[in-house]
């Protein structure tokens, strides 16, 4: 950088700019700090709202991918990568899908989930090599996650996905992100400058979490993995979830709790099968 010039162009990214409202946050009390962060967080949902048409396109694309036997691959570095891994891992118990349905890949590999591997973000092949190892192909879809949209690792992943003829999406927080022209469905939530300059684990991370929730949940609903608004394909493998399963069955079918417990056990914990069995029998509703 010469004379303060931004050679890489990062200063043009809103996620890297300075938030004028919080310039003196280091002089605030604890309550004032919390209030300042909360005020900025209030704007996130509105930023996501403006991206709903693109999110809807993403939901349909991911649902189509899964119905056709493909997998959804999230990828990113730092906070973005960890959010992708989190969303992918939670789909297995929530919707009863295989671990290959949603896959989260992290620049720097599994170790980067627990400790910082910042240099992996700049490696063009850090994620592309992982996609290759997993046999990523034309039937799959790639969701590249990067708040700034500048991470080389996701650019490399998108280039690899395009070479394979796969569907490509991105989740970013900059409208002028490099990722936007690189993928079929760019999803952008412009959250503006962070409370702490450049700390995209904050508003940008919250927006990305919200959008990933919508994409995976929406795709699962479109794939029939939800009954009404019940997690009928959830895996009830602890006491709390087993009780939730029974309550879902009674609420959906109107049967007595004992019958719900019996059918759940009979069908090996498969909630949707228990629901179907009870509804097929036309069980008398509880007065």
284 or 90, which is more confident?
90
Q: Of the residues 90, 100, 184, 279, which is catalytic?
A: 90
Q: What is the pLDDT of residue 26?
A: 94
Domain ranges of the chain: 44-222, 239-281
Active-site annotation holder among 121, 194, 261, 277: 121
Average pLDDT over residues 207-226: 98
Asked if the model's pLDDT at residue 18 lies above 90, the reply is no
Residue 287 has what pLDDT?
A: 37
Average pLDDT on 267-283 reads: 88
Given a cut of 60, is residue 87 above it in pLDDT? yes
Q: What are the strands of the beta sheet with 141-145, ordered from one edge? A: 102-106, 72-76, 141-145, 167-172, 185-188
Contact 58, 169 (CB under 8 A): yes
pLDDT value for 11: 66
Is pLDDT above 70 for 188? Answer: yes
What integer pLDDT is reported at residue 1 of this predicted model? Answer: 34
Give CATH for domain 44-222. 3.40.50.10490
- What value does the mean pLDDT take over residues 248-258? 94
Query: Is 121 marked active-site?
Result: yes
Cross-strand partners of 117: none
Q: What average pLDDT is seen over the chain?
A: 92
Q: Residue 73: pLDDT above 60?
A: yes
Per-residue pLDDT reduced to its tens digit, 137-150: 999 999 999 999 88
Structure tokens at 173: 């927080």
Spatial distance between the Cα atoms of 126 and 146, rounded to a whole number of angstroms: 14
Per-residue pLDDT, averaged over 175-200, amounts to: 94
User: How much is the average pLDDT of 52-66?
Assistant: 98
Q: Look up 40 and say whether it is catalytic.
A: no
């Amino acid at each position: 950088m010469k004379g303060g010039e931004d050679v890489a162009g990062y200063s043009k990214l809103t996620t890297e700019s300075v938030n004028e409202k919080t310039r003196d946050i280091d002089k605030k009390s604890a309550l004032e700090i919390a209030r300042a962060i909360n005020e900025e967080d209030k704007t996130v949902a509105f930023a996501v709202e403006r991206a709903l048409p693109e999110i809807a396109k993403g939901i349909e694309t991911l649902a189509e991918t899964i119905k056709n036997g493909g997998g959804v691959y999230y990828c990113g570095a730092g906070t973005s990568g960890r959010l992708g891994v989190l969303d992918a891992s939670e789909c297995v118990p929530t919707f009863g899908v295989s671990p290959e349905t949603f896959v989260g890949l992290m620049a720097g590999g599994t170790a980067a989930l627990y400790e910082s591997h910042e240099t992996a973000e700049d490696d063009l092949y850090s994620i592309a090599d992982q996609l290759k190892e997993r046999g990523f192909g034309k039937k799959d879809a790639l969701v590249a996650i990067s708040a700034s949209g500048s991470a080389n690792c996701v650019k490399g992943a998108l280039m690899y996905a395009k070479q394979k003829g796969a569907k490509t999406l991105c989740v970013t927080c900059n409208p002028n992100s490099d990722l936007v022209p690189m993928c079929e469905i760019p999803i952008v939530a412009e959250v503006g400058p962070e409370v702490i300059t450049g700390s995209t684990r904050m508003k940008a991370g919250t927006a990305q979490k919200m959008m990933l929730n919508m994409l995976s949940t929406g795709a699962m609903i479109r794939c029939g993995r939800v009954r009404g608004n019940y997690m009928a394909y959830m895996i009830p493998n602890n006491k709390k979830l087993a009780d939730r399963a029974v309550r879902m069955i009674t609420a959906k079918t109107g049967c007595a709790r004992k019958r719900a417990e019996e059918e759940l056990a009979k069908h090996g914990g498969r909630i949707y099968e228990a629901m179907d069995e009870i509804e097929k029998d036309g069980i008398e509703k509880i007065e």
